[in-house]
A and B are shown apart, each in its own frame.
Chain A
Amino acid sequence: MDYFAQQLINGLVLGSIYGLIAIGYTMVYGIVGMINFAHGDVFMIGGFIALITFLILISLGLTAIPLILLVVLLVSMAITALYGWTIERIAYRPLRHSFRLAPMLSAIGMSFVLTNYSQVAQGARVKPIPPVITGGYTLHESADGFVIQLSNIQIIVVITTIVLLAIFTWLVSRTRLGRDMRACEQDQTMAALLGVDVDRTISMTFVIGAALAAVAGLMYLLYYGLVDFFMGFVAGIKAFTAAVLGGIGSLPGAMLGGLAIGLIETFWSAYFSVEYKDVAAFSILIVVLIFMPTGLLGRPEVEKV
């Protein structure tokens, strides 16, 4: 039981990170109707920018960890958001009325560009950082000596996710931008006729998605203590799986799916085999798409001619 509880905590933390990335997939899919294949790599770029900012701040002699983290968070969100904006502007906007496979192929090309750009720019080796946030709490100690640990970093990941999700939900449901986004999701032409700047709204969607991916990148960096240029690939597929599982296009669904994938992966590693944990996640993707294409909270898709 203690082992189970510990894995539950680990799974929830991992799931929060996947959920943050999955929101980017699901938002873009909802509005533009394409899978932003490069989104996993945007997450990776976010991790790298966080790492570099962190390194610079440390070498400048800053010691206050909360201040450092806040600056790192803001810088990486800002720059990664600009990446998201630029990618949409260069690779996706010109293709909005092109043939069916064009945006997807362009996104795949963009994903290669980002992966190899960071490999060329920052080298192929894994970049570790020393643990920044240490310590934690012992929740429970059983008779046979098994300890349930809740580390500070885990608390920070979960709290950050909850706070961001609250801000984000408010943004989508209460602000002008959110209303525009929902309008574009339903009917772009009609929204444009009613005075919604569709281009700007789509750009903002990419910006928000990239900023959330940057937060996920920072959390990943703090939690695992390393980044490398290839981490966006697997994390991207898993986050996409999460988005599909939750019902693509649905924002609460993305978070729910993220938690589900995180839990499934953790429990699979804990009780079955670590080697096959990715196989488990990918199999879920296939199974969900076959038997439940609308996901947990999604709407059935109507094909318009």
Chain B
Amino acid sequence: MKAPSTHPAKPATSIPALLKTAFVNALIALVLFSLMIGIRTEAGSSGQLTYWTRFGDLASIVAAVFGGSIVIELLRQWIGPTGAENLVPPAVKSGVSFIGRYLAPALLIFTLLVPVIFYNQRYILDLAILVLTYVMLGWGLNVVVGLAGLLDLGYVAFYAVGAYSYGLLATNFGWSFWICLPLAGILAAFWGVLLGFPVLRLRGDYLAIVTLAFGEIIRLVIINWQDLTGGPNGVSGIPRPSFFGIPLDNSDDGLAAKLGIEYSPTHRIIFLFYLILALALLTNWATIRLRRLPIGRAWEALREDEVACRALGINTTTTKLTAFATGAMFGGFAGAFFATRQGFISPESFTFQESALVLAIVVLGGMGSQLGVALSALAMIGGFELFRSLETYRMLVFGMAMVLIMIWRPRGLIGHRAPTVYLTKAQAISSDLVKEGHG
């Protein structure tokens, strides 16, 4: 966390003023971090609290704030007059747009080939499945947050509904994955409608809190309704998916035996990989198609201006409801996949942290941008998985990135929040038509 720098009165700041700003920031940082970083408390073995000092860490952080605010101030002066837009030379810009055009197909081809390239590396395949799960969740949430502009902080509730639908139906009634998958989606969408119907009339930030509360309610109910869900112990022994009825195991009816090839446990992993890839691409495809339908256009219009939408006769409640239910359905699909991949689900997988993670992925990728969400899921999940030791810093970095992105690039790093349709010709409106009280 950086201490703020006060706005310079004049754009060209002299060196003493610069140093003064940095000094003030360092002083603020010193007070902020003095107790939290300088002192470390821990409960001893007898329950007695002990503490020790970490003044070295404190000093380095304060020094970092001092140096950082000088650098930021200098950067601000350097960029300031020209503006961030002109900073990038045109050659680089066209290069970026060239890459942008071919990045998505290239990524897709690479993803399709991942099981071929990394056939024997189980770790990488597992990681790829995890990343794709988050890509799918991100794309699902993108319908709600990115397209319709509804802030959903309880997305994990629908993920949980999907996972428990499959887990319970499969363990109690022995239903197959392929029957349960649509059911999980339908049930999640049903819950989405059930929650959405009353609350979608609320303003944006109220909606966020209500969905957050709903997510927590679902989790608490799962924990406490022990007869049905097994409580904190979760549901175990969830059947693995079959290749449309043909099991992927070592038996005589297994897929390997039928195809006459030697059985390997990797087959199942690869099957799971393509399954989640197909589900994610389905989400993507549906989203892209929906954007071009009247309903998708209504979502985008709703995101830009709700009052204008109402004035144009769009039924905002049902429009929001469809977005909410669509997002929930994809969450449900992802949940069913999660259950079949893990073979075990427990309430611990469905905490607020998970919702937060998916939301961070969507926000960082640029709300509304499909490619951005995929790339940010890759960076956030894959990147941090590779540096396991930094796991504790993950949400810290996410949080900082969210704040910084909101300040500098509110449309996301690769954002494209532009509406799908817009007027190509600017309409000039005389100012006396829009004067207050007349417009």
Q: Decide if A and B are genuine partners.
A: yes
Interface residues of A (CB under 8 A from B): 34-35, 37, 45, 48-49, 51-53, 55-56, 59, 79, 82-83, 86, 89-91, 94-95, 98-106, 108-123, 125-130, 233, 237, 240-241, 244, 273, 275-276, 278-279, 282-283, 285-286, 289-290, 293, 301, 303, 305
Inter-subunit contact A52/B213 (CB<8 Å): no
CB within 8 Å for A52 and B209 given contacts A86-B28, A99-B410 = no
Bound together, the chains give a CA A115 to CA B206 distance in angstroms of 22
**In the A-B complex, the 9 residue pairs with the closest CB atoms:** A109-B402, A112-B399, A113-B399, A282-B213, A116-B396, A89-B4, A106-B406, A109-B403, A275-B224
Inter-subunit contact B36/A45 (CB<8 Å): yes
CB within 8 Å for A290 and B399 given contacts A35-B205, A53-B35, A56-B51 = no
Tell whether B356 is near chain A: CB-to-CB under 8 Å. yes
Inter-subunit contact B42/A111 (CB<8 Å): no
The 8 Å CB contact of A279, one of B145, B220, B367, B402, is: B220
The 8 Å CB contact of A113, one of B4, B145, B212, B400, is: B400
Tell whether B3 is near chain A: CB-to-CB under 8 Å. yes
Tell whether B307 is near chain A: CB-to-CB under 8 Å. yes
Inter-subunit contact B220/A276 (CB<8 Å): yes
Given contacts A56-B39, A289-B210, 20 further A-B contacts (CB under 8 A): A79-B35, A86-B28, A89-B4, A90-B1, A91-B407, A103-B406, A104-B204, A104-B208, A105-B406, A110-B399, A112-B396, A116-B399, A118-B36, A122-B41, A123-B41, A128-B43, A244-B206, A275-B220, A275-B223, A289-B199
Q: Is the interface of B mostly helix, strand, loop or mixed?
A: helix
Tell whether B106 is near chain A: CB-to-CB under 8 Å. no
CB within 8 Å for A112 and B395 given contacts A117-B36, A275-B224 = yes
CB within 8 Å for A52 and B35 given contacts A128-B43, A279-B220 = yes
A-contact bits for B198-233, CB 8 A (1 contact / 0 none)? 110111111011101110110011011000000000
Inter-subunit contact A279/B221 (CB<8 Å): yes
Inter-subunit contact B356/A52 (CB<8 Å): no
Tell whether B149 is near chain A: CB-to-CB under 8 Å. yes
Interface residues of B (CB under 8 A from A): 1-4, 28, 31-32, 34-37, 39-43, 47-49, 51, 145, 149, 151, 153, 198-199, 201-206, 208-210, 212-214, 216-217, 220-221, 223-224, 307, 352, 356, 359-360, 363, 367, 392-396, 398-403, 406-407, 410
**Chain B residue contacts of A117, Cβ below 8 A:** 1, 36, 396
**Chain A residue contacts of B401, Cβ below 8 A:** 109
Q: A118 to chain B: closest CB distance in Å?
A: 7
21 of the cross-chain contacts (CB-CB < 8 Å) are A35-B206, A45-B36, A49-B36, A90-B3, A94-B407, A95-B407, A100-B149, A101-B151, A101-B367, A109-B399, A109-B400, A109-B401, A112-B396, A120-B393, A237-B209, A237-B212, A240-B209, A276-B224, A283-B217, A285-B213, A289-B199
Inter-subunit contact A113/B1 (CB<8 Å): yes
**Chain B residue contacts of A55, Cβ below 8 A:** 39, 41, 49, 51
Of B2, B32, B47, B153, which is in contact with the most chain A CB atoms at under 10 Å from its CB?
B32
Q: B220 to chain A: closest CB distance in Å?
A: 5
Q: What is the chain A residue whose CB lies nearest that of B310?
A: A303
The 8 Å CB contact of B220, one of A101, A278, A301, is: A278
The 8 Å CB contact of B395, one of A115, A126, A233, A289, is: A115
Q: A173 to chain B: closest CB distance in Å?
A: 27
Q: B320 to chain A: closest CB distance in Å?
A: 14
**Chain B residue contacts of A110, Cβ below 8 A:** 399, 403
Q: B73 to chain A: closest CB distance in Å?
A: 15
Inter-subunit contact B43/A86 (CB<8 Å): no
Inter-subunit contact B1/A286 (CB<8 Å): no
CB within 8 Å for A125 and B220 given contacts A95-B406, A109-B399, A286-B199 = no
Q: What is the chain A residue whose CB lies nearest that of B231?
A: A275
